[in-house]
Structure 1
Amino acid sequence: MNRIRTAAVLAALALPIAAGPAAATPNSGVEATVLAQATVDGVQYVTRQLTIAPGGTTGWHWHPGQVYGVIRQGTLTHYSANCEIDGVYDAGDPITEETGPGYVHVGRNLGSEPLVMWVGYIVPEGQPLANDAPNPGCPFE
């Protein structure tokens, strides 16, 4: 019996180890300030001001709940997981985003001035406002 157990352990050790998931891409140059927050009937309502420095990025991520906002200053360049721009938003423009892990995206400030957004999140209590995701293969972060 010990021989069989030893052989099984050795066989398992000889198997190739599958690579783990790619690392998430962190945000860069982002400052977030909570403007308002409340939880009602198991739902979180959060409003934040996001400021992204020139050259900054939100990092790749997705949202478990509804997200909407308005650009207050600067320009947001928004990319989907196919590496293509799916929106360019200037001061005064509204923005909404799809929900769920099937909508991985990144926001970048490609301008020369800080980008300022007011963003509202509606998420189930206990869920994060966003979940980090790995770069889906785009030549930028």
Structure 2
Amino acid sequence: MRNALRTALTAVVAAGTLFTCGTAQATPAGPGVTARLISQATVGNTDYILREITIPAGQATGWHYHDGPLYGWVKQGTLSHFDSTCAQDGLYPAGSAIREPAGPGNVHIGRNLGDTPVVLDVLYVLPYGAPFSEDAPNPGCPFE
């Protein structure tokens, strides 16, 4: 798996660096949650997209899932990660790696419960043309 991830990252970096800003896709994303496209490449039927996600203090990504796995690195802050049972399934301080599995059975939300922005570098490994995330309703948790 390490070699596959290294190959994917190499393909993304080799594709060149693109810089655009926009809002991270998920419902309902908190105010100020942004994403910056760093690089992307398509190999066969797979998109490899590297983005920097910023979640301001007190905000969240919104409930969502992905059509392919994600691999992330926390550059700043601490990400609190919750699954569809409302349980915290991860706490990721700066320097931590995170992996999110694919599919609608993996609905989750990322929350910044700290007082500094969370900044993540995220590699999306998606089927060609798939969105970054698929919106999902709040599964009944007492928080967004």
How would you bin the TM-score normalised by the shorter chain? 0.7 to 0.9
- Structure 1 runs (4+) greater than 3 angstroms displaced: none
Q: Aligned residues: percent identity? A: 53
| Superposition pairs of residues 61-140 of structure 1, within 5 angstroms | 61-140=64-143
Identify which of 47, 51, 59 aligns with 1:48.
Answer: 51
- Tell me how far 1:53 sits from its aligned partner: 0.3
Aligned residue pairs, count: 118
Amino acid at match of 2:140: G
| Unaligned residue ranges in structure 2 (runs of 5+) | 1-25
Amino acid at match of 1:107: G
Q: Distance in 2 between matches of 1:129 and 1:103?
A: 14
Secondary structure at the aligned position of 1:102 is classed as helix
More strand by share: 1
Who is 1:26 aligned against?
A: 28
TM-score, normalising length: structure 2: 0.80
Q: Distance in 2 between matches of 1:132 and 1:64?
A: 11
- Tell me how far 1:124 sits from its aligned partner: 0.8
Amino acid at match of 2:50: T
Secondary structure at the aligned position of 1:128 is classed as coil
Measured on the aligned residues, the alpha-carbon RMSD in Å equals 1.0
Q: Distance in 2 between matches of 1:129 and 1:118?
A: 14
Amino acid at match of 1:65: G
Deviations 1:52-110 (A, max 9, x none): 00011000000100101100000000000000100000000000011100010000000
TM-score, normalising length: structure 1: 0.81
Deviations 1:19-47 (A, max 9, x none): xxxxx831113110001111111210000
Amino acid at match of 2:119: V
| Structure with max Cα Rg | 1
